[in-house]
Structure 1
Amino acid sequence: MIDAPGGRGVRRLAIGLTVLSCLSFLTTAWIFSVVRREQEIVSQIVKHLPASDLVVASELKGELMLQRSLLLLLVIDFAAAGVALVFVVRAYLSSEQSLEDVKVLSSDILASMDAGVITTDTEGILTSINPQGRMLIGLSGNPQPPLPPGIGHNVSDLGLEHESLAEILEESRRFENPIRDRDYRVLRSGHTQTLRAGCTRLHNRSGDELGFVLQVRDVTQKSLMEDRLRRMERYMGLGSLAAGLQHEIKNPLAALALHIQLLSERLAEETDDAEINESLSILNAEVKRIGNVLDGFRNYASINDIGRSPVDVSELIEKLVRLLRPHAEKQNVRLLVSGPEQPLDTIEADSARLEQVFLNLALNAIAAMPAGGSLRFAVSGEDGGIRIDVTDSGNGIPAEVQPKIFDPYFTTRSDGTGMGLALCDKIIRQHNGSLDFETGPNGTTFTVQLH
């Protein structure tokens, strides 16, 4: 509960003055009634006194004229009580208004925060949620009297997507330490959203524990930037490694390939042993495969600049679709293209490398739909640049695989080298663009943004 500064002190002072005024008023009224009764008794006595005692009786009656003074005091006390009452009312209204202003300000502050703030009691029952919290948690509707949606329910009732909130609350209760920066992912309208949560204990001004405060923030964009930064850090260290591999492995490998060829020619003249010929053929194939791996690694780690020329992205996608159509029809995959409403400007880019990126993305998408499906290319203008979405209707990318798909040499396919997506990411970054993805049970979308 929030109190206005000094509000309690003002109320206590006003109440004290009112009580004192009331006591003074009641005391004066009691004295007045007693004195009046005594005057009546004296008047009755005076009627029966002899003439010799009338002087003394008159003096006694005069002394009891204190009634007038007490009446004046009574009026003054009454006026003082009225003034005190007015002061109390004004102080109370002022204090209540200040308190209401503070409450409105605190409510406005919570409503303006870009983070969700959720409070619970000691048992984990929700006691308040700010608007951003309701949006991030997915509680529908506006707050209605007497309670907004979610209030009165346990944190564990928020659903499986937000079970991390119940876990960190329980951890904070068990270890009595604040919890910070716990990330978890939820699915919103087919898009993956990364939320970062924390939990601290809630105390009042006396230090008594009232419950817990949960903070939830949307860090989707920050998480994507962190992933891109990590990928770039891995890429930056590969240049010198690639040069060393080229020198230490490629040259001896070329000599090995040459001697295998000479040995094959020599043995072909001297013997027709099928087993020897098969072994030599395997050696030759494996040497070539190692050479291809080294070439792919060199291309990925190369820091050579790309060639730039005007590129019409819509035309490039249409050309790619014509190239892919026979292969897609063979795999029972339907190709769809949606273009912008207005023609887009050309961009300065390397046409061959962009085509390599979209071809790789398309082949991966087709491979993800072994039973057939649909593959859509969507080209649109966005923020002064161009956005290309490549969407398949497969089963999505497993959660345990998602953090690794842009890593060099990581693949889930037996016939893959693991360099395809890593090279695509590198080419798009060389164009000062971005390559991201969103996946779910109904398919995956890779998004390329170019400027």
Structure 2
Amino acid sequence: MFPDSPSQDRSSVRWFAVGLATLSLIALSVTSWILWTVKREQELVADLIRHLPPSDMAAAQELSGDLRSQLGLTILLVVNLVATAIAFTWLVRGYLNSERSLRDVRVLSADILASMDAGVITTDRDGNLTSINPSGRELVNLAGDEMGRPLTDLGSGHELLAKIQAEVSEHHQRIRDRDYVIVGNGQSKTLRAGCTLLRNQSGSEIGTVLHVRDVTQKSLMEDQLRRMERYMGLGALAAGLQHEIKNPLSAMSLHIQLLCEWQSEGAAGPERDKDVNETLEILRSEMKRINDVLDGFRNYASTTHLGRTEVDVPAMIEKLVRLLRPQAESQNVAIAMDLPTKSLGIVQGDSVRLEQVILNLALNAIAAMPNGGELKFKVDRSDDSLRIAVSDTGHGIPQEIRSQIFDPYFTTRGGGTGMGLALCDKIIQQHSGSIDVRTGPDGTEFTVFLPMEEVL
């Protein structure tokens, strides 16, 4: 399944073993030749001694002693050869054991990958296929041997794999959970892919690893869950809308009844005119309140697509601060900013909607400090997201209502519609982000997380 390419360490061990075996054979050959030469010389010396006169016997004995010294050196070489042979035997034994262990590990890793229900695909640095497990072959419908061919040859429907592989190779950032749909045999399947860099033991980049999963059933369940959440949200929204409209309608009905009674009585005069004018003003106020509620409902229920462009968040906050400063100074609220000096990343979003979110959070913060305080904006990075924090030094949010602050039509202010934070939460979710809140007696901090791209 996966190619058996020897590593550099194993290759070094092989060459070392071959070199040691060659040296051992050379040493054995040299020792054999020395032994044969010494033995031949000893036979010649023995023949000479038998034919020498007694006067030359001393020189012959000295020569025989030299030959015995050479024989001692030969014995030493033999001992060294035996020691080398023993060391070579242990080396070969260790090498065979390591090969067996490596083979067992390779078989185990192959079994693990073959047992996975997710597809695992590896490529080299040029995007050419180097390995794929059985689940991967099934998911991408690969029947033949495609090793060494580019990912773009996998066929129609799987172009996303080549795209994310190229992105990871270029930007050196992992990619998670990219969904795409393929159609085969009249059925559609949703696949979820991701990609990371592949590095060797020394940390050098040698390619990429792609993982592919069949999330068709999970995607269907997520769609059903989203539909259920929408239905539940619409139910809560309808209940809130009914409550918010019923109250002003009751007041309007009461005052219209009063106007009808006054008209039937036919009474006139300055006092009655004053009552009529007050009643008409109340009717206008309640009508405006109903319009505000309906406008909030329309904005919250709107399905308008976002216009995505590159958003300079620090510049956007500086612009909002200039807008807020007169109102903040009138309430004795100081504004502080902690903005980055260089770009942390690129945020793709709807600048108008994001301004609406930050402005709403800032206005809520100012309203929470009627006796003055400090409004602070902070922008920094958190993993792959841009973090925008808007904090105040107000009285905080009571524990018993913290879970309701993002619900539509929930408000603790008499003049509010209760749609501000609900709309903020929806806009941030449309940007694939999130919004969190931390509150206490020393103030409240709303934190917005927006996904961003790397600065190249």
TM interval, shorter chain, is 0.3 to 0.5
So what's the TM-score if we normalise by structure 2?
0.46
So what's the TM-score if we normalise by structure 1?
0.47
